[in-house]
Structure 1
Amino acid sequence: MKAFARAAGRTVVAAAAFAAVSASAQADTWRYAFEEAMDDVQGKFAQKFKEEVEKNSDHTVKLFPFGTLGESADIMEQARAGILQFVDQSPGFTGSMIPEAQVFFVPYLMPTEPEVVNTFFSESEAINEDFEDLYEEKGLELLKMFPEGEVAMTTKEKVTSPEDLNGVKFRTMTNPLLVESYDAFGATPTPLPWGEVFGALQTDIIQGQENPVFWVWSTKMYEVTDYITFAGHNIFTTAVMANNDFFEGLPEAEQEMVEDAIDVAFDYILEYQEGLTEKSLEQIKEAKPSINIVHLTEEQREPFKQAAAQVEERFIEMTGESGKAILEQLKEDLAEAREAVAAN
């Protein structure tokens, strides 16, 4: 819809007009905050975006990694207020504001095969059209969603079935559907801001959490847990957004420049993540040889998949017809991505 209309309109922008707009535009400093460290996936994406913007304009992009401007709720508030021009935040934290975004937390909906995942995020109609309008209603311009790898559960005790999670206080993001997921899995979901997680695991206030393995390595979660379990239940999704008033106030040529920079960063980050999970696991094993890495069999995953069905039903109850339509479109997009990969 909007993104495609803009893309079509770009073809009529002459090179001379682009040069004139660029020359006359005021050079500004744009502020971009994200939820990870500079050397993590979101940080690498942000740095590539910064490089492209500064190479193709007179603007400067100032980057703010996790913690420099507060927690996730803080940077979202600043982005919506226009203090930040850009923000990268997982739908896990925007789910309360945009309930339909919680669809990414329906267990076993998203594939874990990298080729299918990458094709889906590149071509999904739900992501590239439907979600744009939902984010715009909240004052945000959705520029790109991208994957950050399969999530794994890190726990103090071994987990091979939902019964093993009984009584386990499991940290979740402040996301209603993720809470529903771990409740269905048998755990006691415990929403916590990220800054409190390491200490809570260290003091046994909680006994588990989930994240992509690169983040488990980067944040040293393996130091306070003993098992890394792959249940195949999800991947981590994040979204790069701009303040809508800021973005719509840019000349068309500068909007195009921003979106081109986002596309370059997107292609870069998909390539950057190739083999990242395996590399991170090797680093963890070297740092903590006693760590236990568990890949659940299909038979062991089946009870988790059965529990996931009630989470999907709960998602539809929470979001109504709008959420149901998003879910159906996502399933269509995923089927098309699988077919496209199989055809190649």
Structure 2
Amino acid sequence: MIKKISLLMLIVILTLSLFGCSDGGSANNEASSGKPVTWRITHEEVVGSVQDVYANKFKELIEEKSAGKIKVEVYPVGQLGDGVTQVELLQDGGVDFAINNPGAVATIIPENQVFSLQFLLSDDMDVNQKVMTEGAAKDELNNIYLKKGIKVLDWFTEGFQMWTGNKSLTSIDDFKGFKMRTMASPMISAGYEAYGANPTPIPYMEVYSSLQLNMIDGQVNPIFAIEEMKFYEVQKYLMMSKQNTFVGTFCVNPDFWDKLGDSDKGMVESIVPELNKYIFEVQENLNTERLEKIKEVSDIQIVELTDGERDSFKEASIPVRDVYVNEVGEKGKKILDLLIKDVEKFENEK
């Protein structure tokens, strides 16, 4: 109840603020109207991250194409609450756009936990980009999101997920009793439980201190996040595991969207492919550059998993797909089957 009241108060403050800085921020005001209209976008990461770069590129393109008639305000994680709070703000109209990942939306859209399944997507990032942009699975998910008050405009990858730990993790035995920090997602937890680990949900901004105090033994994130959060300072090993990819979604509040005029909708839709292409190149370069920086400023040991080691983890992860289907039901099974077909299709087209 307290959380709901706080969220309501935050929405009221944002709404009053919006009236104070523009013509009221009403979505049905076309960019061609007199005074600037303010759009708000929030994301789950810190300044300089992949989501932050995406959000600021969106801001740049919208303000440029609207000739300054639309202003975009970007709110990184923490300014308007954590990832889950930001999702609620988007649903309730407290913000207009948001970038989030399936983990933060898992409690309301359990079907999207399919992206938490390990060794399901390709280890070729070009294939994964096509799965995100051209695959059939994401279309099914878009319909489910919309029924929950979220309209997805874009799916994109932020890079491969990698493990870090206070010891090397190259076999199932290495995970026995290992306290792995995860997001608060049942499917992510199930994935590490399959290895015998002890998944431990901890807020993102508390991971560093938890590692430092040995409250957890390791964590999982893309390389850019490992570098920007300085996890390498409190971890001894970085495993190039590529067990899955970190997926992002660019979303809009459906009521806000429906009230936009055709020209504003068209403007947003026209820049989405550009944003997707741009962020794919950004994440690739950013993760490469950040890995080199980690090597330069730390003595963390980089561990490359062999094909045999990856195969062992993949074999152990397969039963978790049944856990997913049992938890989510037939809709989940359909999405899982479509995703498997998407991956096979685009891998065969290479």
Same fold (TM over 0.5): yes
Residue pairs, 1:10-159, within 5 angstroms: 22-24=31-33, 27-57=36-66, 58-127=69-138, 129-159=139-169
2:324 paired with 1:322: no
Q: After superposition, give the CA deviation of every residue in 1:96-145 in whole Å (9 maximum; x if it has no partner).
A: 11011000011111112122122222211221x21111111111111111
Distance (Å, rounded) in 2 between the aligned partners of 1:23 and 1:193: 42
Structure 1 unmatched runs, 5+: 1-19
CA-based RMSD of the aligned residues comes to 1.5
The one-letter code of the counterpart of 2:52 is: G
Q: The residue matched to 1:185 in structure 2 has which SS?
A: coil
The one-letter code of the counterpart of 1:49 is: F
Determine if contact 1:46/1:265 at 8 Å carries over to the other structure: no
Q: The residue matched to 1:273 in structure 2 has which SS?
A: helix
Distance (Å, rounded) in 2 between the aligned partners of 1:63 and 1:116: 30
- Give TM-score, length-normalised by structure 1: 0.90
- Give TM-score, length-normalised by structure 2: 0.88
> Aligned residues: percent identity?
35
The 3 A distance-change label for structure 1 pair 74 and 21 is closer
Q: The residue matched to 2:77 in structure 1 has which SS?
A: coil
Determine if contact 2:159/2:284 at 8 Å carries over to the other structure: no
Matching residue of 1:173: 183
Cα deviation, residue 277, structure 1? 2.6
Determine if contact 1:29/1:62 at 8 Å carries over to the other structure: yes
The one-letter code of the counterpart of 2:99 is: D
Determine if contact 2:31/2:37 at 8 Å carries over to the other structure: no
Cα deviation, residue 211, structure 1? 0.3
Determine if contact 2:142/2:151 at 8 Å carries over to the other structure: yes
Structure 2 unmatched runs, 5+: 1-28
Matched residues, number: 320
The one-letter code of the counterpart of 2:125 is: P
Distance (Å, rounded) in 2 between the aligned partners of 1:191 and 1:113: 28
Distance (Å, rounded) in 1 between the aligned partners of 2:136 and 2:309: 33
Matching residue of 2:345: 336
Determine if contact 2:113/2:187 at 8 Å carries over to the other structure: yes
Q: After superposition, give the CA deviation of every residue in 1:180-208 in whole Å (9 maximum; x if it has no partner).
A: 00100221011111122111111011011
Determine if contact 2:31/2:70 at 8 Å carries over to the other structure: no
Q: The residue matched to 2:32 in structure 1 has which SS?
A: helix
The one-letter code of the counterpart of 1:115 is: D
2:296 paired with 1:286: yes
Of 252, 263, 277 in structure 2, the residue corresponding to residue 267 of structure 1 is 277
